[in-house]
Chains A and B, each alone.
Chain A
Amino acid sequence: MIWTIATLGTLVASFFILSVLSMLWKDNPVFRIGQQAVIGAATAHYIVLNFESVYKNALKPMMGGNLLLIIPLFLGLLMYTRLKKEASWLARYPTAVLVGVGTGVMIAGTLRGQIIDQLKATIVDILNAPASGGLTVFNTVLILIGTITAVTFFTYTQKHATEKGLTLLGWSAKIGRIFLMISLGANWSGELVWYLTQLIGRLTYLINFAKLLIGG
């Protein structure tokens, strides 16, 4: 086997994969070193890419005449005042812009995109369902029940139970909880298969490297 930079890279990568997998036996220094390596790598990667973004999207246009960009650049630098207690109040200004703009764009889209359109979709489906047959009607009614009961599950301003037992809201919340549990189960399932796929990817990498070593 000819050792090139690429092969050396594969060796280093395989070492780190095995070091992290060694955690399955027990926590050990080799795993910790792998963990710390990725912390340093991720921090560096974040800084390098963001520095390039600042240069490309702010400094270069400023040098080209767009001097208005000095305002957000200055605000971004004000964030560093958080590190000094006496001056940390200055960091409220960039935070204010971030929070204000972020909240504003979120609110505007939320009302229509996530409340009105979602309710509309549920109701329109029910109105159109009879044309598609009995199963579609059943499914759309079930979605409506799930939607309403799941919303009532998150209602905390009214009591769900009295001394006599569950209230109507309580029963609705109980049914909603079942729908939410099914959703959580589906999410959990997606995670399980995702992590299994990651494991397959890493084992495939190791097997291919082993084949490279054996094959020369």
Chain B
Amino acid sequence: MSNNKTIWHKLGNIDYRWLYALSLICTIIPILYPLGLPVQVSGGTIGYFDAIDKLPAGSVVAVSFGASAQLLDEQEAQFLATWKLLFQRDLKVLFYNPLQDGTLMLQTELGKQVIPASYGKVYGEDYVVLGYAPLGEAGEASMGINIRGVYTTDWKGTPLNDLPMMKDINSAKDIDLLIFVYTSCTDVEFPIRQWVTPYKTPTIIATLGCCGPMAAPYYPTQIQGFLSGSGMGTELEVYGRVPGPGAAMSDAKNIGVLPFLFFFIFGNLSYIGNRYKWGVKKQ
């Protein structure tokens, strides 16, 4: 009976709306007053950067842009940094979208946040956007065999044969690097099965934070690098010296996560205190 009033019981039964309120406050503070702490770069990010950086001039990069507009906060830093790195170099970039949102995101993000023309890139000669088709794994397999089997025109309706860049590009054999952006964790298997295994296409991936650990078993033998979450997007911004929105995101996490950590500690103290009956006199 007296156990119900111990500090351990109370620590394990705090109204979770306190956690909500404290989390909100602690997340808002660094947004208003940034801390500006540096980030450390991980091996996956270095591998991702090196895969792009080591491409010879004139290489063709295919970007399977399966991002979702609702997950922009998590992935924006990744793909903005990636596009800046791609357009800084003398590369041919081919975008295609296996998810509905991709084309619209490319319109807003590629047209406004990263402007290819500012890097001297010309549409149709240096980069092409093929648009949306519900590819799935079979569609990725089809792209590897014959791109024109899936897409006969680009996103604006221009026939592919009318685009100078697409003259010599039609299958996986013409692609020097695949960048696979996805949001469903098991989709990492698509490029592994349909690009890496049959064609040995060098592949790097960019995905959500929760999908990174599932992609780690394929690194570095089957994928050369990976970005997992906005944190690694920020790392790419730092390592590649292409500043973007990631820094502010990473900064705000510093204090925002603290209420959860404290509550987690309280919960376990409660468990241990109750289990070993700390502070309860033995009768």
Touch test A–B (CB under 8 Å):
yes
Interface residues of A (CB under 8 A from B): 24-25, 45-46, 49-50, 52-53, 56-57, 60-61, 64, 101-102, 105-106, 108-110, 112-114, 117-118, 120-121, 124, 183, 186-194, 196-204, 207
Q: Would you call B132 and A53 a contact (CB within 8 A)? A: yes
CB distance from B75 to the nearest CB of A (A): 9
- Across the A-B interface, how many residue pairs have beta carbons closer than 8 Å? 139
Question: Can you show 25 pairs from A to B with CB atoms below 8 A apart?
Answer: A50-B100, A52-B132, A53-B132, A53-B133, A56-B153, A57-B151, A102-B138, A110-B193, A113-B197, A117-B197, A118-B217, A118-B218, A121-B221, A187-B214, A190-B209, A190-B212, A193-B229, A194-B74, A196-B256, A197-B73, A197-B253, A199-B256, A200-B253, A200-B256, A201-B249
Residues on the A chain within 8 Å of B132, using CB: 49, 52-53
Residues on the B chain within 8 Å of A50, using CB: 100, 134
| B 85-119 binary contact with A (CB < 8 Å = 1; else 0) | 00000000000000011010000000000000000
| B 129-150 binary contact with A (CB < 8 Å = 1; else 0) | 0011110111001000000001
Residues on the B chain within 8 Å of A200, using CB: 27, 31, 73, 249, 252-253, 256
Contact of B136 among A46, A52, A102, A186 (CB under 8 A): A102
Q: Would you call B196 and A198 a contact (CB within 8 A)? A: no
| B 26-39 binary contact with A (CB < 8 Å = 1; else 0) | 01100110000000
Residues on the A chain within 8 Å of B32, using CB: 207
Residues on the B chain within 8 Å of A102, using CB: 136-138
B270: interface (CB < 8 Å): no
Q: Would you call A183 and B231 a contact (CB within 8 A)? A: no
Bound complex: CA of A49 vs CA of B153, how far in Å?
15
Residues on the B chain within 8 Å of A204, using CB: 31, 248, 252
| B 166-195 binary contact with A (CB < 8 Å = 1; else 0) | 000000000000000000010001001110
Residues on the B chain within 8 Å of A108, using CB: 193
Query: Nearest residue in B to A191 (C-beta to C-beta)?
Result: B210
Total interface residues on B, using CB and 8 Å? 58
Query: Nearest residue in B to A21 (C-beta to C-beta)?
Result: B24
Query: Known contacts A57-B152, A102-B136, A197-B230: does B31 contact A207 (CB below 8 Å)?
Result: yes
Q: Would you call A113 and B193 a contact (CB within 8 A)? A: yes
Residues on the B chain within 8 Å of A191, using CB: 209-210
Query: Known contacts A53-B132, A190-B228: does B222 contact A121 (CB below 8 Å)?
Result: yes
Query: Nearest residue in A to B20 (C-beta to C-beta)?
Result: A24
Residues on the A chain within 8 Å of B189, using CB: 109-110, 113-114
B57: interface (CB < 8 Å): no
Residues on the A chain within 8 Å of B28, using CB: 203, 207
Query: Known contacts A197-B209, A198-B73: does B194 contact A105 (CB below 8 Å)?
Result: yes
Q: Would you call B228 and A203 a contact (CB within 8 A)? A: no
Bound complex: CA of A56 vs CA of B253, how far in Å?
43
B122: interface (CB < 8 Å): no
Query: Nearest residue in A to B257 (C-beta to C-beta)?
Result: A196
Q: Residue among A24, A188, A190 with the most chain B CB within 10 A? A: A190
CB distance from B46 to the nearest CB of A (A): 17
Residues on the A chain within 8 Å of B214, using CB: 187
Q: Would you call B256 and A113 a contact (CB within 8 A)? A: no
Bound complex: CA of A46 vs CA of B32, how far in Å?
37
Bound complex: CA of A24 vs CA of B185, how far in Å?
27
B208: interface (CB < 8 Å): yes
Query: Nearest residue in B to A64 (C-beta to C-beta)?
Result: B152
Within 8 A of A (CB), among B213-265: 213-214, 217-218, 221-222, 228-231, 248-249, 252-253, 256-257, 260
Q: Would you call B137 and A106 a contact (CB within 8 A)? A: yes
Residues on the A chain within 8 Å of B157, using CB: 56, 60
Contact of B193 among A114, A183, A197 (CB under 8 A): A114
Bound complex: CA of A64 vs CA of B253, how far in Å?
53
Residues on the B chain within 8 Å of A203, using CB: 24, 27-28, 31, 252
